[in-house]
């Protein structure tokens, strides 16, 4: 019963916050103090999950992307801010995750002692992670950026891969 209550509570608090976020204009700032009042709890602590859900809803339903302004509140990004910040931050995150994954998957003392299935899974992971590591290298990204500057549009998959291979 408690689990249903928690889910219902999450939905109610998230919806209350979402209603506030959904009326924002791009560029607007909302302080944590205002958000705390809406759900009568601290959105940086016990109300954090509610705010995260509300932000996800605003992105999905209204194309509104909110970023944290540390210890102050959240800001609804303008299209310019979104374009300049989001892609690069996710590329950086992908690079970090890839390096971390490679470090973890190579923490094997005796590769030869692994079963054939384990070797296949290991090599699959190393191959895929290796591709992502290669794709997120600065010199590779610059090559793609140069092409995008020449033809300002999203490049096709085939052209993007060709540009990565040519370096």
Domain shared by 130 and 157, yes or no: yes
Total domains in the chain come to: 2
Among 77, 105, 136, the domain boundary falls at 77
Instruction: Report the CATH number that the domain containing residue 23 is assigned in CATH.
Output: 1.10.10
Residue 74: per-residue pLDDT = 98
Q: What is the pLDDT of residue 165?
A: 75
Same domain, 87 and 161: yes
Name residues whose C-beta falls within 8 Å of residue 122's C-beta, 6 or more positions apart in sequence.
105, 108, 111, 114
Among 47, 88, 38, 85, which residue's Cα sits nearest to residue 66?
85
pLDDT in tens, 141-155: 898 888 889 887 888
**Host domain of residue 127:** 80-165
pLDDT in tens, 76-120: 999 999 999 999 999 999 999 999 999 999 999 999 999 999 999
Whether residue 89 is found in the same domain as residue 62: no
pTM (predicted TM-score): 0.74
d(CA 165, CA 145): 15
Residues 30 and 67 grouped into a single domain: yes
Instruction: Give 76-125 as a DSSP string.
Output: E--HHHHHHHHHHHHHHHHHHHHHHHHHHHT--S-GGGS-HHHHHHHHHH
Last residue of a domain, one of 77, 108, 129: 77
Q: Is there a single domain that holds both residue 60 and residue 98?
A: no
**One domain for residues 92 and 159:** yes
* Statement to judge: residues 42 and 95 lie in one domain: no
């Amino acid at each position: 019963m408690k689990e249903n209550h928690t889910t219902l509570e999450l939905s109610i608090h998230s919806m209350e916050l979402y209603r506030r976020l959904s009326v924002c204009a791009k560029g607007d700032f909302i302080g944590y103090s205002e958000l705390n009042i809406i759900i009568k709890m601290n959105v940086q602590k016990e109300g954090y999950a509610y705010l995260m859900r509300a932000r996800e809803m605003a992105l999905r339903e209204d194309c509104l992307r909110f970023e944290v302004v540390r210890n102050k509140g959240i800001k609804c990004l303008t299209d310019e801010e979104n374009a300049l910040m989001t892609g690069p931050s996710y590329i950086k995150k992908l690079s970090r995750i890839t390096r971390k994954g490679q470090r973890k998957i190579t923490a094997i003392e005796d590769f030869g002692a692994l079963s054939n299935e384990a070797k296949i899974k290991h090599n699959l992971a190393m191959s895929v992670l290796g591709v992502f590591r290669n794709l997120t290298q600065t010199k590779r990204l610059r090559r793609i950026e140069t092409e995008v500057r020449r033809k300002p549009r999203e490049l096709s998959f085939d052209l993007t891969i060709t540009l990565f291979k040519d370096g």
